Structure formats: structure tokens, C-alpha cells
Chain A
Amino acid sequence: MDVRSQISILFHLDKCIGCHTCSIACKNLWTDRKGAEYMWWNNVETKPGTGFPHRWENQEDYKGGWVKEGNSIDLKGAGKFRGLKNIFHNPNLPIIDDYYEPWTYKYEDLFTAPEGNDQPVAQPISQITGKPIEIKSGPNWDDDLGGSPLYARKDPNLEKLNAQEQEDLFKVEKLVMMYLPRICNHCLNPSCVASCPSGAIYKRGEDGIVLINQEKCRGWRMCVTGCPYKKVFYNWSTGKSEKCLLCYPRIEAGEIPACMHSCVGRIRYLGVLLYDADKMKDVVHLDEDQLVEAQRDMILDPRDPKVIYEARKNGIHDSVIESAQKSPVYRFVKEWKMGLPLHPEYRTLPMLFYVPPLLPILGKMNLDVYDTSCADYFSTIEKARLPVKYLASLFTAGNEGMVREVLKKMMAVRIYRRSETVGDIQGADMALKEAGLTRAVAEDIYTLTALATLEDRFVIPPSHREEALAMEGMELVKPGDLGFGFRDRPERM
């Protein structure tokens, strides 16, 4: 047993209102720079939709992630041979138009325009060339466009649905959408790290955060291809790749990452998970529908004395083990089995989990009246607007049973709470039994979902940077060291 600790995240999609506050917090803090204008380390997508960059889930085009090869795995579009062969020109690299060309407006014109018959306008100009551009695409260009032929229709996940099921999604009275906020998954088996020829990307041993060393990055751009989630971005101005760093400077100071702290819907949870790294080699090449279960099996019980013993033996600090015991992510993912990884079929073992959204009540046309009432109050999962098959394509690599299991639990908790607070429906115990929950567990799920405080939602482990500083050769230790930032401008001569 090789116990390691990983800071993990859970997004509760049932609570996401799609307000993009997270994206803005992140943008203001990290990517408001030249060359990074187009980057959204955190973005919120509307599903069904094409996402950012355009149709990123279509790995036939983007060639990200790992593919199964017998009893092992190999990178799909990068790798040792393929990466070095393509070093002069990477055929699998998305270009800026797959995202969008960043622009601003020539506000100056509003003040300097000569007097005339028309109102002066601020022309859009490209932030790359500085010349006027015609805006073709931008951040969240498909926002709230569920049902649109241009975006929703082109969602790669729809290919898993048959023609009838696809048609149903686009009937006016059945239109549906959900929000999918995304950041870097800080995977256990990151394909960006594996595809970096310079060895500049690394996973931090103590908390599993994946970072890019900007000094070592030589801009070969294989990581952009390697990451199936397209969460590594190329800075065209500095010639380096950048990615979400899980606000590690904030985490080290005991603060909450900006996107999570600012989350209006309080959908975000963060905590430590302990996992067994020895199991990894047996997990990554399993069949697609077994991946979620196997990844869950890798996560260890932080209260198990044997796990604690092995964790200590591996150098994991007691305070981190204590955090793991309080981790809200552990409860959702392991205890309640409600957290699912996004696209596990990419085999990177992502450590950002999602609670899928419980589906809206399905109305029906009854004598020209749109009727939303139904006999069993909350309708049933089978009648869901957003097909379980679609959610399964997102979160379980096609394993519908697993999605249904989660939705059933969420439904049971709702029925239980309704019967507790309003008391107008029966069958709470039935529903709980069907979902495999007890009243006590349902109460816990309800509390952590709906009532949790900031301290409940974010259990940040102490970083123990003093240990890192004690190691030789670390920066900022010796008197006279310069600190962070560039010592000279990143521009070339």
C-alpha cells in the first residue's frame, strides 16, 4: 500500500446556477494578462453544448488523454515517439480559433471622435494584433443555448443517444440544459504530465496539485494535446503553457481557492482524499464501465488504523490525515457514492468529482394546459428530460446504472425532506430503502448539501511549507533571495 494524499474537489451540479462568478474570480486573479486573455482556467459550460474549446470532448479531433492498449495504456495524441516525431509541427494542437480570438474595444474613439451626425462607437479590436476584428466567437458563446442547432446539436455526447432520443431533446416543450463548471481535474494519472517532453509539468507529492514549472517549460505544447479536458493553455505571448494551479498560494495560506470561495450557488467542496497509488497500474487499463468503481476503490478510509499507519509511514502528516477524516469530498464520493468523475474514459483518473444534476420535473400538455403536477410528485428518473444515457456519457463512460443510483439517492433525500418539512407526501421510507439510505444518512446528505457552512465545505489541509523550506535548494530561504515574479521582462529581443 502506497498511501498518498490528494486535494480533491466536488462540484454539486444540482446547485449550480450558471452565474460564472467562479470564472470571473479566476480571470481577475490569474489570467488577466497578455497572452492569457483567451484562457479560462475555470469555465462554465452549458450542456448539451459544444463547450470550450469548441467540441473539446471530441477526442477523434483533439486526441487527448490515454487509450487502452491490451493490459496497459498509451497516450492518444502525444507520447514519447509521437511527441518527438511531431515536435516541428504538432498536428493535434488546437489553435486560437478553436477557443476564440480575444478582443477589447477602442474606447478612446468615444472621446476623440469628431463631431458628427452619428454617435461614435467603440470598435472591437483584437488583443493579439491590435487591429479591428469581426467577433466570431467568445467566452461562453454557447451560454444557455441548450436546444440550439448551432451548439447543443453539436455536443459530442449526443452521439451516444439514438435518433429518437436526440430528437426528443430538441422539442420545444422538452428543451433542457444543465451547467457544467470545469477546472483542471488534478488527475492521478495526468496525461499532460506524461506528454511534456521537457518534464516541466509535475504533480506535487504532498497534495497532488498539478503545476507547470514556467522556467522549465520550453513551449513544445504537447501538454495542450495531451490533456483531454483541454485545461492546459498555451500563452502565445510568453511561449509557455499555463494551467489552473488550484490557487496553491491561497491553499498554502489556508485560504480557499478563488473560484470556490466566490461560488454563489455554494456548489463547490474541497478536501483531502487518501488513495493507494499501488492500485493505479491495475485500474487505468480496465474496461470503460468499470473505471469509476475502480477509481473509487483506490480511495482509502482515513479512519482505518491500517491506512493511518501506512500514511504516516509514507510521510503524510497527522494534520493532513485529520483533514482527510473531515473531508466533505470523501463523504460524497466514497461514503455516499454520489460523486462521479467527468469523462473517466480518458483514463487520467480525474480527482474533481461531480454530483449530477437531478432532473427537472417533466410537464405534459393536457388540453392545451401545461401541467407539471404528477402523481408521484417528483416524477421518476426514467421520465427525465435529460436522458440518463446522456449523463452517463458525461460522468460514467456509459454506465447508466451508476448515474441512476446517484439520482435515486438525491430523489430519496428530497422526498424524505419534503415529508419531514411539509408532510404532504408519503413513501419517504420506501424511497430511502430503494436508494439504500437510512434516515440518518439522508439527513447527513441533506445537511452537507443544503446547510453546510464554509468550514464544512472546505477542509483545507495544512501545507507544512516549513518542511519544504527545510529541504535544501528551495527558493525564498536564504537572506537576499529575490522572491517571486520575473527578474526581467518575458519579451524577446
Chain B
Amino acid sequence: MFDLALFVIFPYVALVLEIAVSFYRYFNGSYKFSSLSSEFLEGRELFWGSQPWHYGILFVLVGHVVGFLFPKEVLLFNEVPVRRLILEVTALTFGLMALVGLLVLIRRRFTNDRVWAVTAKMDLFVLFLLLIQTFSGIYIAVQYRWGSSWYASALVPYLRSLFVLKPNLEYIAPMPWVVKLHIANAYCLIAVLPFTRLVHFLVLPVSYVWRSWQVVIWNWDRKKIRKV
């Protein structure tokens, strides 16, 4: 029953919240869609926190997505023990990098008066969730080895069953509690995302790459030129 609420109902609620609230907030004043950078108030410590955190978590996140999209290929890749070892060690390194970065960021937020002045309650909540997520992830990676393989074979089917609207709890039930925590906490993060500064990741400025350097906005329709 508890599993049903946490791993079948909650993910849908979280996803609906994420999408609906993000859209609602974006189109009703996207003013707050940013990460509220505090680099201007403190720059040096941020470097040692933000860089390892972002690069670490990005690699790990992309890893999760790749595993979700191509489970067979991942399993095939992992058949050779050396390849599996390299993959696991790399992923763990990035995970540890993210954890170190996160700890630096948390320390910075609590010890720097200026940064504390721009810290909202929700920021602390997000940091708390992220800490649980990163820490449990690393714990799982160390404790239950070859996660890349059993994630692909045991968890991806569950995740996919959610996506095709035929939730299947078979795979979840026998999982250790840390793995369950990791999954439930991930849903938590998805649910709170649109309410927090995490929204900055929804508005990544990718269009900058192909945009022209200068932006000019005209008062009149340039194509419909006034008669001379």
C-alpha cells in the first residue's frame, strides 16, 4: 500500500505538478525563473562548490537518462568486466565530485553572511533534498555494486512501466530501502522543482548558440515600410 502511494501515485502527482506549475509560472510572470545567483556577493568559494557540483551532477543525470533510454545497450556494454568497472568508477567519481561541491555550497550558504541574506527557506529545503539524493546515490553505488547493470535490468522496466501508464510494482518491492529512498526523493525533487530556484534548469539559454549577436526590437513593422 505504502509502495503504491510512493511509487505509483506520487510520481504522477510529481510530474503533473512539475509540468503544470512550470507552465503556469512561466506564462504568468517568468520573472522568478532564475537561479538567483549569489556569485556577486561571494565568488571564490562558489567556484569550488558550483563547478564540481554542476559537472558532477550533470554527468550522473545524463547517465541515468542514457540508462533509461538504452537499457539493452548499457547491459551489452557492461558484459565486459573492464568496461563495467571503468563506467562504475567514472560515475562514482562524478558522483563524489557532486557531493563535495554540494557540501561546499551548503557550507558557504550557512557561513557567509551575505549569501545567507539572499537565502530563502525553499533554498534550504532544496539543498536538503539534494543532499539526501546525492548521498543516497553514492551509498547505493558503493553498497550495491554494478548499479549501472541492475539499474538497466531491474529499475528501468519499472520507470518505463510508469511512462506507458501501466505501473508495475514487481521490480520495486524487493529493492533495499536506500534505493527506495533514492527514487522517492527524486520524485520529491521533481515535484518541488517549479516552486524553487531549480527552475533555472528549465530555461537554459540554448538559443544563444544560434542567435545573432545583436538584438534590436523595432517600434514599427520593418517589412511594412511607410510610403515615402
Instruction: Say whether A associates with B.
Output: yes
Residues of A within 8 A of B51 (CB): 88-89
> Residues 115-142 of chain A: 1 if any B CB is under 8 Å from the residue's CB, otherwise 0?
0000000000010111100000000000
Q: Is A283 an interface residue (CB 8 A)?
A: no
From B34, B54, B217, give the contact of A202 (CB < 8 A).
Answer: B217
From A219, A488, A492, give the contact of B29 (CB < 8 A).
Answer: A488
In the complex, A204→B216 CA distance in Å? 6
Residues of A within 8 A of B40 (CB): 93-96, 221, 224, 234, 236
The closest CB in chain A to the CB of B221 belongs to A471
Q: Is A166 an interface residue (CB 8 A)?
A: no
- Shortest CB distance B125–A (Å): 9
Interface window among A18-26, A186-194, A295-303, A377-385: A186-194
> Residues 317-342 of chain A: 1 if any B CB is under 8 Å from the residue's CB, otherwise 0?
00000000000000000000000000
Q: Is the CB of B46 within 8 A of A89?
A: yes
Q: Is A376 an interface residue (CB 8 A)?
A: no
Give the A interface residue count (CB, 8 A).
62
Q: Is B195 an interface residue (CB 8 A)?
A: yes
- Shortest CB distance B92–A (Å): 21
- Shortest CB distance A399–B (Å): 26
From B35, B39, B219, give the contact of A206 (CB < 8 A).
Answer: B219
In the complex, A129→B32 CA distance in Å? 22
Q: Is the CB of B117 within 8 A of A315?
A: no
Q: Is the CB of A89 within 8 A of B116?
A: no
Residues of B within 8 A of A80 (CB): 208-209
In the complex, A95→B216 CA distance in Å? 29
Interface window among A255-263, A286-294, A306-314, A442-450: A306-314
Residues of A within 8 A of B41 (CB): 95-96, 128, 236
In the complex, A203→B217 CA distance in Å? 6
In the complex, A205→B220 CA distance in Å? 8
Q: Is A453 an interface residue (CB 8 A)?
A: no
Interface window among A170-178, A209-217, A407-415, A416-424: A209-217
Given A198-B205, A219-B34, A490-B32; A93-B228 close (CB under 8 Å)? no
In the complex, A30→B11 CA distance in Å? 46
Q: Is the CB of B217 within 8 A of A219?
A: no
The closest CB in chain A to the CB of B224 belongs to A315
Q: Is the CB of A464 within 8 A of B219?
A: yes
Q: Is the CB of A201 within 8 A of B215?
A: yes
Q: Is the CB of B228 within 8 A of A309?
A: yes
Of A80, A464, A465, the most chain B CB neighbours within 10 A belong to A80
In the complex, A131→B117 CA distance in Å? 10
A:434-493 near B, CB below 8 Å: 464-465, 467-468, 471, 486-488, 490-493
Q: Is B61 an interface residue (CB 8 A)?
A: no
Q: Is A240 an interface residue (CB 8 A)?
A: yes
- Shortest CB distance A204–B (Å): 6
- Shortest CB distance A37–B (Å): 13
Q: Is B31 an interface residue (CB 8 A)?
A: yes
- Shortest CB distance A4–B (Å): 9
- Shortest CB distance A54–B (Å): 15
Q: Is the CB of B42 within 8 A of A84?
A: no
In the complex, A206→B123 CA distance in Å? 42
Given A128-B117, A129-B116, A131-B113; A492-B36 close (CB under 8 Å)? yes
Residues of B within 8 A of A95 (CB): 39-43
Q: Is the CB of A199 within 8 A of B211?
A: yes
The closest CB in chain B to the CB of A312 belongs to B228
Q: Is the CB of A205 within 8 A of B116?
A: no
> Residues 126-163 of chain A: 1 if any B CB is under 8 Å from the residue's CB, otherwise 0?
10111100000000000000000000000000000000
Residues of A within 8 A of B166 (CB): none
A:211-243 near B, CB below 8 Å: 214-221, 224, 234, 236-237, 239-240
Number of inter-chain CB pairs below 8 Å: 153
From B54, B116, B120, give the contact of A493 (CB < 8 A).
Answer: B120
From A87, A206, A237, give the contact of B218 (CB < 8 A).
Answer: A206
- Shortest CB distance A15–B (Å): 34
Residues of A within 8 A of B35 (CB): 218-219, 239
In the complex, A492→B198 CA distance in Å? 12
Q: Is the CB of A467 within 8 A of B38?
A: no
Residues of B within 8 A of A467 (CB): 219-220
Q: Is the CB of A84 within 8 A of B217?
A: no
In the complex, A95→B50 CA distance in Å? 16
Residues of B within 8 A of A465 (CB): 219
Q: Is B213 an interface residue (CB 8 A)?
A: yes
- Shortest CB distance A470–B (Å): 9
Q: Is the CB of A199 within 8 A of B203?
A: no
Q: Is the CB of B121 within 8 A of A493?
A: yes
Q: Is B151 an interface residue (CB 8 A)?
A: no
- Shortest CB distance A187–B (Å): 10
> Residues 30-60 of chain B: 1 if any A CB is under 8 Å from the residue's CB, otherwise 0?
1111111111111100110011011100000
Q: Is the CB of A84 within 8 A of B205?
A: yes
From A89, A198, A217, give the contact of B208 (CB < 8 A).
Answer: A198
Q: Is the CB of B50 within 8 A of A240?
A: no
Given A96-B114, A236-B41, A491-B120; A83-B208 close (CB under 8 Å)? yes
In the complex, A314→B223 CA distance in Å? 9
Given A95-B42, A471-B221; A129-B113 close (CB under 8 Å)? yes
Q: Is the CB of A89 within 8 A of B50?
A: yes
Q: Is the CB of A189 within 8 A of B113?
A: no
Residues of B within 8 A of A234 (CB): 37, 40
Q: Is the CB of A204 within 8 A of B217?
A: yes
Q: Is B111 an interface residue (CB 8 A)?
A: no
In the complex, A91→B39 CA distance in Å? 10
- Shortest CB distance A462–B (Å): 12
Residues of A within 8 A of B53 (CB): 88
A-B contact pairs, 10 of them (CB 8 A): A88-B55, A205-B219, A214-B31, A217-B34, A218-B35, A218-B205, A464-B219, A486-B31, A490-B31, A492-B32
Q: Which residues of A pack against B, CB within 8 Å?
A: 80, 83-84, 87-91, 93-96, 126, 128-131, 189-190, 193-194, 196-199, 201-206, 214-221, 224, 234, 236-237, 239-240, 309, 312-315, 464-465, 467-468, 471, 486-488, 490-493
Nearest 9 interchain pairs by C-beta: A197-B205, A205-B218, A239-B36, A206-B219, A202-B215, A194-B213, A219-B34, A492-B120, A197-B208
Known: A84-B209, A315-B222, A490-B32. 18 other contacts (CB 8 A): A80-B208, A89-B50, A93-B43, A126-B113, A130-B117, A193-B215, A198-B208, A204-B219, A218-B34, A219-B34, A221-B39, A236-B40, A239-B36, A239-B37, A240-B34, A490-B31, A491-B120, A492-B197
